[in-house]
Each structure stands twice: as structure tokens, then as C-alpha cells.
Structure 1
Amino acid sequence: MSAVQPFTNGLINGITKNEKMIIENGVRYAQASQTGRDGPDQILYSDLDTTSDADGRVRIKLDSEGPNSHEPISVPGLLSRTVKTYPNQIALVTRAGPDGKRKSFTYREYENNVRTVAKAFLKLGLERHHSVCILGFNSPHWFIADLAAIYAGGFAAGIYTTNSPEACQYCAESSRANIIVVEDAKQLEKILQIRKNLPKLKAIIQYDGIVKDKGVLSWDDLLEIGKKESDDKLDSILRTMGANECCTLVYTSGTVGNPKAVMLSHDNLLHDTRAIVRAVEFKGGSEIIVSFLPLSHVAAQVVDIFTSMTVGATVYFADKNALKGSLVETLVIARPTAFLGVPRVWEKIYEKMQLVARNNGPIKTWIATWAKAQGLFYNMNKMNGVDYKNWGYLIAKWLVFNKVKAALGLDRCRIFVTAAAPLGNDVKKYFMSLDMPIMEAYGMSECSGAHALSTNNRYRLGSVGPTLKGFGTKLDNLDNTGEGEICMGGRHVFMGYLNEPEKTKEAMDVNGWLHSGDMGRLDGNGYLYITGRIKELIITAGGENIPPIHIEHLVLSELPVLSNAMLIGDRRKYLTILVTLKTEMNADTGDPLDTFLSDTQAWLKSIGCKAKTLSEIIATRDPLVFKEIEDAISRANEKAISNAQRVQKFQLLPHDFSVPTGELGPTLKVRRNVVQRMYSDLIEEMYN
């Protein structure tokens, strides 16, 4: 059984009069170019819907009208069009240099730099359908290298800065990297360790810091090489390019085995971008975005690089410590009109705001409490279709909300978005009370980024929003509660996994549906809810299927000083859970510290606990703390839908989850199998 949210998927009746389209078996496809020399926006011939070959092409399905009917365009075609529309609009603004100043690029300068670097890549030996791997923090250099690789007929392939040398080698080998672009000496060292194992590698470029290795080029060296080259070779490659070819590889951040290289075509990326622009109602030439999420992740690429390019937006770059606390400094300078953050970013902002609130005097506290009640009332009503701006809300907006937003640099922001992992409803409600309703986005690398998206006029607590227009959602293998596996259809669905045809077949069924591995349900209004992940479903010894995320959120909501919770119980007789307390973080390394955040300190004091460090609590199994955690779990158990979903025991871990310690992946998702290996002894204690 399955449930389908209707979409046309290219099925039509009749015959088109548009000579650039053809119809086969009732499905409309973009017509392949007759000459093969009309690129880069041409469609190259293919009779395939998926491919795992580096030089492969796929067909593009079109509708006769609506969001799926627009003609495909390539990445170079899009940038060229934007330059013609907004030549002098500021495109990129660097992070502050040592002198505190920022450099900016207009769209004309942006494209000129892209073409210059593309010519340099070709001179250095970049071959068609080989990659340029990019390893570094967000910067104009990252954007330019990414687009230059595409312009030169290669693949842009981002590598996570947290990757080990061995993981970097896998990405470079599998993508047949001819060129690797690194940020600084730290990232360069990884590549120098593996250089001898990469026979296809022809050049390494370092874009920040002083280059000390003779075999490495600086960014200025790269620009000088490109400036000396004519445009002939680059233009000849652009003429052979097609919008239905791969232009970008996104490596999945999976925790089992090697990551898969997701092949995304020009049309995949730009079709998804158009859907986002339509849903959010971005305005041409007036949007501002802050780039700080890892660009090796598809969400950051689609929003920061391609959505900004589509609407002629200005992108400000945060500094390296953005995720360690300095993000607000960039926000205050940039004052973005849209802001995308992962849940941990929103949680960090929430924690800091709670700290500020506790230092307010009684009058400010009373005003803030009253104002937040007005904000929550207004936004809860708006969520349900009632846009009622009463005097209380308008006064609260003037007195409190506008000032809070200005302090965060979000006073011009029209949409606040969270993605990559679930964000708790308690945090969402807090921001709603401050007139900053956070919209949820859902997608994956294999669908080019976003598939469903809440907007200011269409959102529900707990939902990731409706499917974007022109896309299709199907729930496969429905159970008796109306839940099934979320499957996606549309032009944004990837070409395949590079060099892995069998895994491509596993992900895509014969009807073109991408199987996400996520469990979900659709309500009567088309809102999508994520209820778990198939591979993460816990199947107890009694055969009960348990979605861990739901139970973890119940526990976390009962005790806000808990930072993370991970449910255990696969093939076990009962459920247990691992929890962490909120502690401070090393600003330089990102490692969790033994000392507590101020919120946690205040809570410990309120329950009579005198411990100053987490290790003290662990060593003594502090009865006050453990009793509070036990009571929170008991309260969560009262909301369980069956006895099998009740948590029986817990362990408090010796430090919080983090990327450096291994529990979190690059996108801050919990690496469940890693956590289970790391704490196997503690887990076994709960079952012995």
C-alpha cells in the first residue's frame, strides 16, 4: 500500500507544439540538441533516467505547464543571465581581514573571477568529467573554485573539513580529482600526506595563509595563470556542455562504509533552487544571506551558491568560529533577509538568550514575559490561518521584538529556517514567542537539497511543511497508522551514485521514485511529518518497532538541561537511553569541556547540587542529578503509546556529543553506530 501526494511527474495528454520538447509513451522530455554544439544550456541526447557514469546524461521530464514546464538551464547559463540583470549588484562580501575590513565582489567581478580560475584549472590539467575537490571553510574562493570547476567541464566536489586524510583520499580517488583546493596549512597537511597515493592529481592550491610548500600554488598564482590564458578553450568546452550532465558531486556523510558520491546535474540543482525561490518569494536584487554552514553539504550549496545566484542576492561570509559563538557578529553586520541554521545553531542562540533574560531586573522580566505571551498567541493563530495583529502584539513588537531581532542582526530577516535534523517544539515555541517562527525544511543530498519546506504562510509545529510545488511525495508500504517510507519524485532527484549502479538501483525504484529511508505521514492538508528512519528503527526482542527520535525528544523536552539523548534497545528486552548534560565548549577545537553552561549551573543550584564539573557528578553518581533525570524519563514515559516504548534505564555520559569526539557528523547529526561502539560498556551495564 502507498499514499501519494499528487503531482504530474511529466504525464500529459496530447502533443506539444514546442520543438524543444518530445513525447514518448505519454511522458514529455526536453528535446536533445541536434548539433551538440549549442551549450551550455543545451540538452544532450540520452534515453536513461539514471546513470552512475561520470560522463553520463539523463533525460529531463517536463510538464506542459506549471513549475515543471520551464526550460532547463545550466549553471554557467544562470550566472551569465544574473550578471546581465545585476552586473553591479554586490554578490560576495568576504569575512573581515586582519585589518577588520571586508572585500566585496560585484556579480560582473564574480563571473570574471570564475572564468579566470576555470581557465587556470584547464591549464593545470583539469580533464572533462574529473573533479576539483575543495577542502576549507566558506569563502568567496570556495564559491569561485566550485563554479570554475563546473565552467571547465569538471565536477565540483566538496570535502568536509573534519575529514581525516584517509577520508579525503577516498573522495579524491573516487571523483578522479585532478585539482584539490585547500584553505590553509592545516587542511593542506592532510593532502600532502596522501599526495603520493593520487596519481591523477595535477595541482594543489591553497587560498588562505602563506604558501610554504614549493609544490603548492597560492590563489594569486592561480589567478595569474588564468589571466594569461585565452578564452578559446574554455568557450569550446562550454559549447559542449549540457544541462542534463553532472556538474557537482556531494558526498553523503554516512557513518556506515565509505560515503557515496551523489551526482547532481545542472538541472537537478537549479530546479530545486527555483522551487525554493518560489516558495519563499525571494525578491530579485534585494536579498542578503550569511554563509556559514559547511559548503560540502548540499543545503549550504543550494542556498548559499545557487539560490543567491538565482535572485542576485548578496552573500556575507562568517568567520571560522561561526559555529563556536561568533556567528551573531556577522549577522549584526550583514542583517540578512533570510537565515538558515541547523538545530544546534538555534539551540545555541536560545541558550544565550535565556542567559541574558535571567540577568534582567523584575520590570524587564515582566515586560518580556508579557510580550512573549503576545508573540506566541499571534504566531500560533497565524499558524492556524488567523493573522490577527491586535494592539498587544503591535506594542510588544515595538517594545521587545524589534529590539531582540536587531541585537541578533535579524531585524530584516523575513524567514527563519532550520534543516538537517529535527528541532524541538520547545525551542520553536520560544522563537515564536519572540515573533521569529522557525520554518522547517526537509530533503537530502539525493534530491538536491529541499523537497518539503514550511513558509511563513504554511507551517505547523512538528511538520517539515508541504512538498514544494512541482515535486511529488509518496508514502510507501503504509502501516495501519498511516505511516510509510517517504519517496520523492521530480526533476530535482539525482542522476545516480558515481560508479555505484547497484546502490543507485537500491535508492531509485523503476517508476523513478527516490526512496529516502525516512518514515513519515501526510495530513489532510498535505503537510509532511517525519516520524523516524527505517534504518534507525529499533526492533525490540519482542518484535516491536520503535522510532527513537520521538522518544528522545520527549525526554529532552522534559529536562531542558539535557543536551543530547540517544535511545538504545535494538534486539533487547527493554529500552534504555544515553543522555548528556549541557556543558561549555572549547572555542578553538569544538571539544566539549567538563564545566557547565550557565543554564546548567543555575539548574544544579536550584536542585541543591554543589558539583562544579560533570566529572564530579559522574564520579559520585550525584543522587540529586540522577533523580531529576530519572523523573524526567518517568514523565516522558507517561506519554508513551505502549509499554514497549517506555524507557527503563539510563546512563549519563562523561561528556557532551561533538564533532571532534566523534558522536556527531559534519552536519551535527548523531552518528548512532559510533555512539554505540564508544559507549558499549555503559550500554551493557544497563542490560546486565
Structure 2
Amino acid sequence: MKYETYGGELLDDPRLRSIPEALSDVAERYPDRIAFSEPDNGGTYHSITFRELRRRVDAMARAILDRCPEPIVGVTGRNSVSWAITYLAALRAGGTVVPIDRELPVQEMLTILHYSGANMMFFDERYEEDFRGKLSGRDIWTVVMNTAYCEGIPTHDDLLRDGSGSSAVLPDRWDLERPAAICYTSGTTGQAKGVVLSQNNLLANIRQMEQAVSVREDDMFLSILPMHHTFECTCGFLFPITHGVTVYICRGIRHVAEDIVNSRATILLAVPLLWEAMYRKIYGAIQSMPGGSFKYRLGLTLSSVGELFGARRIRKRVFAKVHDRLGGHMRLCISGGAGISPDVVDGFQKLGFTFLQGYGLTETAPILSVNTLERNRVGSVGPVLHGIAVRIEAPDSEGNGEILARGPNIMKGYYNNPSATREVLSEDGWFRTGDYGHIDDDGFLFITGRKKNVIVAKNGKNVYPEEIELVVGKDDYVLECMVAGKQTETKGEEIWIILVPDMERFIAKAEEEGFSLTTDYLADYMRKLVRDFNASQPIYKRIARFIIREDEFPKTTTRKVRRKEVLREAGLEEEVSYTV
């Protein structure tokens, strides 16, 4: 067991001097290559070349400077070329961009605009009524994206036309240490912490990804996750665009499978819930085929034997029909944003997919570690990236402790919030991730759970909810589950679990076996599941009580579970109160 590791030297890349220069360089080298392909409202796709992308970014940057000499540009809306141009133009103009979650309540968006000091706001037409009333009288320029006309508010196209005729002088040098992006994880009053990322932070992470996961000129990224999310923004937008690789914008979650095929996608970035849903569909389709289970087991046996004799990529040939359903061109499946079940990773790999799990946070721009083609260990989030040092603070008997990281991709701090910055970032650059984990002897990093979620048993042992959730969540009849601690007067913190039954499966089972599905039946099933789990665990890790929840857990736009909301509804999260 190791307690610190270093990813090795981060190589320089002269093409990545700044993000605006990287785009200009790509436009010179690949002027007619497709940069983006995006759907219109009718589902028809339209493309833009790198030459045209650079022209529009320059035009928008001039239009921005004509209105705001020192721009701080908020942007919210669906994934689109307009969103990408706005982001890049803010940097081209020497300004700062504030990407905002499009699913946040408008009041929270307004809070973010206030905290960030934004003087421009770009938004999709769906927000027009909200922003028209609530931003009137405030010193903020408003621009509507993805529409041809909006009465009284200039559109994105209007600014492109204005900028094309503007004489505004664009900078040819940038302060790479000043705020390039301010990313807010919440807009709630008192919780709005803006993560400040400089161009150097972003460029470092792009270079780190380049060394870990190289891209090819013929690669095709399918953009599924919202661009405001740092995982998608850095890895699924800036990374491919600065390397001359095409990004195909997905029409939405319902169209993922179809768009994978139509785009001929080779690289797909997604969060665990999406990967797990895809795997369930693939595996379910295999099981429902006549003789599907036998053919699957036979395919696994043939693949294993073939690999023993040196047959390369044999799994992709054996399971060719599965690959064809996903377009037949998928080269890399990359998961991030949260922990994923090792069984899902292993399942994809058994089918011949190259599946890489990574780890990071918004504060780290965002990637800290990722498995690679050469070094890939199921259950791990991979070796740390080049230029990054990681250490485990105060490890317990099993080697788990808080993960601290230092490197060129670590944020500058929280915007205008020095006290919050000091809590997580030391003077010598060590960032407290708030995650527990350990490093194995080969330098692979493993995540155990979030520090704030840890349950402290009465014997002082730490219990990590995520570990229990992975085990119980494997059951076919559990759609989702969440573990939390409940403080008691005599037993310390008890372990409680919230279970969401997979009702489609339960109904199918009831119809097949000819019985009536009742709440008592569900409770008995879940009780047995919990008891079986408890029987395999030491006393301090055993579940004390369970709650059955009818509805799925609420999710963010990146399909992360809103944990606090779920626990609050279940009475396991106390509301903040104040003395009178």
C-alpha cells in the first residue's frame, strides 16, 4: 500500500500556448474539417468547419468587446455551437466565462450572476421571459441564443453580424493566470462557491489528457453531457476542439443510442448512470434472445481461449452484433463524474469495449486520474495524470484517508471567497478533495467515498456508504439505493438504506409467476436482501433499517443524484436552523 504517488513529467505542447491560439492553429491546419455537427429543432444536422468556427469566435469576441471592455460572460442553454462560440469568444476577448447549469432555477442563476459580477448573459430562448423581467434595470447585457428573432433582445446571430463589421481590436496575448472560467456548483445563497480556473489550469488538464488518452485525427466525440459541466467542457469540448477532432452534439438522452450510430462516434464520455443504463439494455437484449444466455457464455469462453493464443480484439469480433448496435466504431468508453460499479466496467470489457474510468472534481479542471490503454484496473480510477502529485492524509488501518492533490490543473481558488479557499487549498498548493481513498502498490488510485458521507460506527470504524450501495445495488430488482447514517442516543450512528424497487421487473415477475404484487411482498423482498447483506458483513457495517421509496431519485443535468434532497425527504438530513 502506498500513501503518495506522482504521475510523472507533464510534457509541453507548443500548440497549446493559449486556448484562442490553439483554436487558431487548428483552423490553419484543418480549415475544412468539421468542428461541430449539431441538430436543429427538427432534428436535421448542420455542420461548421474549423475555419468558420474561428471566424465566428473572432466576430463574437469583437461584439462582446464593443459592449463590455472587461467582459464577464454568463452562458446557459442546451449544448450547441452558439454555446461553444460564446465560451470561446469570452476567452478570445480576454474575458471570463461563467458556465451555468441550464436546469437551475432562474433565481439561482441570478444569484450566480450576482456573485460572479457578470456583465453579459447569453441564454436560450426558453429563458427569455424570465430574464427579460428579472434582468431589466440591471447593468447586464442580454443575448438570446438559438433563435432567429427575439423582440427587444439581440440574438446571437445579431452579435455575429455586428462583430463581423466591428473594428474592435482583439488581444494577441492573454494573462494565462487570470480567471478564464468561474464554475459554480450551486447558486443557493450562502452555498454559491465559484471555482476559478485559469487558462493555464485548463491547458494543463488538456495536455494531461493528451498524454493519458491520445486522440486520432479520425476520432469523433459524441457530446452527451451538458457543456457547463467541467467534465464535458474540458474533456468533451476543449480537448477535441484544440486537437482538430470533430464533436457531434447529441439530440438528448432519449436519442443517445441512435446518435451513437449516426455520428459514427469513436469516443464517448458519460457518467455512471448513463453507462449503467446502457449496460442493462445491452445485457437485457442478450438475455431476451432465443438461446441468448448460452450464446453469451459461449462467446466469453471463445474470447478467453482466443486471447490465450494471442488473438487480438477477438471480443469485438465475437460480440460484433453488440458493437454494431452502437455504431461499430466505438474506440473508447470513458466514465467520470461519480463512482461506477466494477461489474459494469467488467461487463463492457468482456464484450470487447475499451472502458476507462477516471476521477476528478471541478476544482481540478477536472481530471486527476484516469485508467489508460496500457494501465487499466477494474475498480480503480487509474494512475494519476502527469504533473500531479497525490497523497493520502491520515490513512486508517486499511490505507484509506483523505485524498490530497497538487498540480498545474488545481484551481486558483473560490471566487471572492478567501476563507472557503483556505479550507481546501494550502499555501503550498495541496488541495483537499473531500474524498477518501487509497493507493495500491502499483500506483492505482481507489475511491472509497465522500468524506462528508462517511458514517462513524460506535466502535470508531468508518463506514463508506458508497461501498454498501455498490453491493446492494447489484440486485436486479433494485433500481437505485442510497445509504446514510442516522444518529441515535444509545447506538451511535445507525446505517439506514433507501431502496427504490425496479417496478418493471417486479411486475413482470408477478405476472410470470401469477401472484399479486403488494407492498408487503416488496417489503419482504427488500428485508431478505438486507438480511443477506448483513450476514456477510461485520457487525459495525450492518444495515439497521431500510426505507422503500416509490419514485426514482431526483437527478442533476449530469445524472448525479441530488443526495441532500433525497435524505431530506426521508428525514435523514437535518435542515439548517438558526437561533433567534
Taking structure 1 as the reference length, what is the TM-score of the superposition?
A: 0.78
Residue of structure 2 aligned with 1:288, choices 217, 220, 238: 220
Where do 1:376-525 residues align within 5 Å? Answer: 377=304, 388=308, 394=314, 397-399=316-318, 401-409=319-327, 411-525=328-442
Please tell me the root mean square deviation across aligned C-alpha atoms, in Å.
2.6
Residue of structure 2 aligned with 1:86, choices 11, 30, 35: 30
- Corresponding position of 2:557: 666
Cα distance, 1:389–1:182 mapped onto 2, change above 3 Å: farther
Is 1:126 the counterpart of 2:68? The answer is: yes
Which residue identity does 1:534 align to in structure 2?
K
Shift of 1:544: 3.8
Shift of 1:608: 5.3
- Corresponding position of 1:49: none
Is 1:159 the counterpart of 2:100? The answer is: yes
- Corresponding position of 1:206: 144
Shift of 1:69: 5.1
Q: Count residues with an aligned counterpart.
A: 569
Contact 1:73 1:243 in 2 (8 A): no
Cα distance, 1:155–1:74 mapped onto 2, change above 3 Å: same
Where do 1:549-560 residues align within 5 Å? Answer: 549-557=466-474, 559-560=475-476
Unaligned runs of at least 5 residues, structure 2: 575-580
Deviations 1:143-167 (A, max 9, x none): 1010011111221111111100111
Contact 1:165 1:193 in 2 (8 A): no
- Corresponding position of 2:578: none
Between 1:103-112 and 1:673-682, the stretch displaced more is 673-682
Deviations 1:245-270 (A, max 9, x none): 22111112598942311111111101
Structure 1 CA distance for aligned equivalents of residues 266 and 21 of structure 2: 26
Q: Percent identity?
A: 27
Deviations 1:567-605 (A, max 9, x none): 1324333222111123xxxxxxxxxxxxx44x4543444
Structure 2 CA distance for aligned equivalents of residues 457 and 326 of structure 1: 32
The SS at the match of 2:139 is coil
Contact 1:564 1:579 in 2 (8 A): yes
- Corresponding position of 2:549: 653
Shift of 1:366: 2.6
Taking structure 2 as the reference length, what is the TM-score of the superposition?
A: 0.92
Where do 1:19-418 residues align within 5 Å? Answer: 66-67=9-10, 73-98=17-42, 100-123=43-66, 125-128=67-70, 130-185=71-126, 187-196=127-136, 199-202=138-141, 204-209=142-147, 211-212=149-150, 214-230=151-167, 233-235=168-170, 237-239=171-173, 241-253=174-186, 257-283=190-216, 285-319=217-251, 322-323=252-253, 325-362=254-291, 364-375=292-303, 377=304, 388=308, 394=314, 397-399=316-318, 401-409=319-327, 411-418=328-335
User: Following TM superposition, where does structure 1 have runs of at least 4 consecutive aligned residues deviating by more than 6 angstroms?
Assistant: none
Which residue identity does 1:108 align to in structure 2?
R
- Corresponding position of 2:577: none
Unaligned runs of at least 5 residues, structure 1: 9-65, 380-386, 583-595, 612-616, 659-663, 684-688
Deviations 1:111-144 (A, max 9, x none): 1010111111122x2242x421111111111110
Structure 1 CA distance for aligned equivalents of residues 542 and 573 of structure 2: 19
Deviations 1:439-473 (A, max 9, x none): 11100011101110012321112110110122111
Contact 1:164 1:190 in 2 (8 A): no
Which residue identity does 2:157 align to in structure 1?
D
Which residue identity does 1:3 align to in structure 2?
Y
Shift of 1:355: 3.6
Cα distance, 1:164–1:537 mapped onto 2, change above 3 Å: same
Shift of 1:393: 7.5
Cα distance, 1:609–1:506 mapped onto 2, change above 3 Å: farther
The SS at the match of 1:5 is strand
Which residue identity does 1:87 align to in structure 2?
P
Which residue identity does 2:128 align to in structure 1?
L
Cα distance, 1:462–1:278 mapped onto 2, change above 3 Å: same
Which residue identity does 1:280 align to in structure 2?
V
Which residue identity does 1:221 align to in structure 2?
D
The SS at the match of 1:494 is coil
The SS at the match of 1:103 is strand
Shift of 1:333: 0.9
Which residue identity does 2:80 align to in structure 1?
S
- Corresponding position of 1:5: 5
Which residue identity does 1:228 align to in structure 2?
G
Structure 1 CA distance for aligned equivalents of residues 386 and 57 of structure 2: 32
Cα distance, 1:304–1:234 mapped onto 2, change above 3 Å: farther
